[in-house]
């Protein structure tokens, strides 16, 4: 079977799903070539999401670290507080075009569920979100947000009742309702064409960044950093720079409680080639090849797979993948909050943690861009719980 990204990608799904994926791919290719589609997408990005968002020179943080200049791509300023809305708006417009009436999606912590429910409300589509029962209990506020936006939230009880299980149930539901239902996937993962579609809608991040850094510094940045869960915000900012060989690209995974423990989500650092959720990619697995449970303090990075393009970009050496622990991320979150008055999402703080490691070692004429994928308002309770734990 054809793979889109070196030996990664493909469609490891039953034949009935392949049929739905083919229909999706055809509709997507057609939409891409229709200027009216792009125009509608850009209209909502500007008027509804609030793009373009700034590329902000973090002067205080740069001075504090005493090395390279640090620029923040402010995805945290988007409507709903993260980059996810770029993708949900794009896919909803595609779903409408395909004549679908109903949107379904999986969600872990609830961020993708909220972004999907938001877009569905905007476009008057029926919306059902599948979420693990364990996650629903942990993320009550997001469950209420989704309901407030008019979505139905369906609990998933099987296995560990978390994100992976929600994906399985959502796919099954899709197969049974393929006629009128659109499956809106939340990251650059899953069977082809999903990783390609999500990358397409997130490319706006890199396009804006390139124009903004050229306007502000008259040259391309030396390094770009982004956190990596499934990999959508990272591929969104990286793709405009993949051909610019002298721009160093760095993805930051969650090392959780440490790479020497079992409690991490460092798929590219410690995973092996395997199959998960319909794609060939790298997967965190045990010695018997069974998918291992993963852990991170950040719910958005807590995924045992990774977008197939990232697995490929690691193998080719174009992107370097590193990791940050819970502690490093939380220290970074606090440093950014206090120096710049910006509370980042815990996910994004993983990328800031890598900046804190690298910036002081670099000369003052070097420029680092960090994709600030989301804001930390959603994480205040987790941050409080973490601080309580530190006291004991």
- Residues at the site binding ligand PLP, with contacts judged by CB under 6 A: 82, 84, 111, 187, 227-234, 300-301, 345, 347-348, 373-374
Closer to ligand PLP by CB, 11 or 142: give it: 142
SS3 at position 366 = coil
- Count how many residues are written for the chain: 392
For ligand PLP, the closer of residues 151 and 234 by Cβ is 234
Q: Quote the least distance from Cβ 181 to ligand PLP, whole Å.
A: 23
Count the alpha carbons within 13 Å of 40 in the hemisphere toward its beta carbon. Answer: 14
* Nearer residue to ligand PLP within complex by CB, 30 or 377: 377
- Contact between 209 and 237 under an 8 Å Cβ cutoff? The reply is yes
Work out how close the CB of 364 gets to ligand PLP at its nearest, in angstroms, rounded to a whole number.
Answer: 29
C-alpha span between 57 and 71 (Å, rounded): 4
d(CA 237, CA 255) in angstroms, rounded, equals 22
CB of 52 to ligand PLP, least distance (A): 18
Q: Which one, 228 or 250, has the nearer CB to ligand PLP?
A: 228
Q: Which residues of 326-338 are buried (b: 16+ CB within 10 A; e: fewer)?
A: bbbbbbbbebbee
> How many CA within 13 A on the CB side of residue 129?
34
Of the two residues 320 and 366, which places its CB atom closer to ligand PLP in the complex? 320
87 backbone φψ class: left, alpha, beta (φ>0; ψ -120 to 50): alpha
308 and 228 in contact (C-beta within 8 Å)? no
Residue corresponding to tokens 């690298």: 358
Question: From the CB of 84, what's the least distance to ligand PLP, in Å?
Answer: 6
Minimum separation from the CB atom of position 35 to ligand PLP (A): 28
Closer residue to ligand PLP, CB minimum distance, 347 or 354: 347
**Which residue of the chain is nearest ligand PLP when measured via CB?**
374
CB of 366 to ligand PLP, least distance (A): 25
Distances (CA, A) of 281 to 9, 263, 295, 350: 6, 20, 19, 22
Decide whether 221 or 230 has the Cβ nearer to ligand PLP. 230
Query: Within the chain, how many helices (H) and strands (E) appear?
Result: 15, 12
Beta-carbon contacts of 148 under 8 Å, excluding residues fewer than 6 positions away, are: none
Q: How far is the CB of 375 from ligand PLP (least distance, A)?
A: 8
Q: How far is the CB of 179 from ligand PLP (least distance, A)?
A: 29
Question: Rounded CA gap, 266 and 324, in Å?
Answer: 9
Cβ contact 292:285 at 8 Å: yes
Residues 6+ apart with CB under 8 A from 47: none
- Is the Cβ of residue 111 or residue 212 nearer to ligand PLP in the bound state? 111
Provide the annotated active-site residues. Answer: 84, 106, 373
Contacts of 121 (CB under 8 A, 6+ apart): 127, 149, 150, 151
What is the C-alpha to C-alpha distance for residues 142 and 109, in angstroms, rounded to an integer?
Answer: 8
């Amino acid at each position: 079977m054809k793979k889109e990204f070196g030996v990664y990608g493909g469609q490891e799904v039953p034949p009935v799903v392949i049929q739905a994926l083919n229909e999706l791919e055809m509709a997507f290719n057609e939409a891409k070539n229709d200027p009216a589609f792009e125009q509608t997408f850009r209209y909502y990005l500007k008027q509804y999401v609030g793009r373009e968002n700034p590329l902000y020179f973090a002067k205080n943080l740069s001075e504090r670290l005493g090395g390279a200049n640090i620029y923040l791509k402010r995805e945290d300023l988007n409507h709903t507080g993260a980059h996810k809305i770029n993708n949900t708006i794009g896919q909803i417009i595609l779903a409408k075009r395909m004549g679908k009436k109903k949107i379904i999606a999986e969600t872990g912590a609830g961020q993708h569920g909220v972004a999907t429910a938001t877009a569905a409300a905007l476009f008057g589509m029926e919306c059902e979100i599948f979420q693990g029962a364990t996650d629903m209990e942990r993320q009550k506020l997001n469950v209420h947000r989704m309901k407030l936006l008019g979505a139905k939230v369906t609990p998933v009880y099987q296995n560990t009742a978390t994100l992976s299980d929600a994906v399985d149930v959502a796919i099954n539901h899709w197969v049974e309702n393929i006629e009128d239902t659109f499956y809106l996937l939340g990251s650059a993962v899953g069977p082809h064409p999903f990783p390609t579609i999500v990358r397409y809608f997130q490319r706006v991040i890199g396009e804006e960044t390139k124009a903004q850094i050229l306007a502000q510094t008259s040259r391309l940045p030396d390094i770009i950093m982004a956190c990596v869960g499934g990999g959508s915000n990272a591929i969104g900012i990286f793709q405009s720079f993949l051909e610019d060989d002298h721009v160093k690209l760095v993805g930051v995974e969650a090392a959780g409680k440490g790479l020497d423990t079992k409690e991490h989500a460092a798929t590219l650092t410690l995973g092996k080639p395997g199959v998960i959720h319909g794609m060939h990619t790298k997967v965190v697995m045990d010695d018997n090849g069974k998918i291992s449970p993963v852990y991170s303090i950040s719910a958005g990075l807590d995924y045992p797979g990774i977008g197939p393009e990232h697995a490929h970009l690691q193998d080719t050496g174009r992107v370097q993948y590193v990791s940050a622990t819970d502690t490093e991320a939380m220290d970074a979150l606090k440093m950014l909050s206090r120096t710049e008055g910006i509370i980042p999402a815990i996910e994004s703080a993983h990328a800031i943690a890598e900046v804190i490691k690298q910036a002081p070692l670099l000369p003052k004429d070097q420029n680092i861009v960090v994709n600030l994928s989301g804001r930390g308002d959603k994480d205040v309770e987790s941050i409080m719980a973490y601080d309580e734990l530190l006291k004991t």
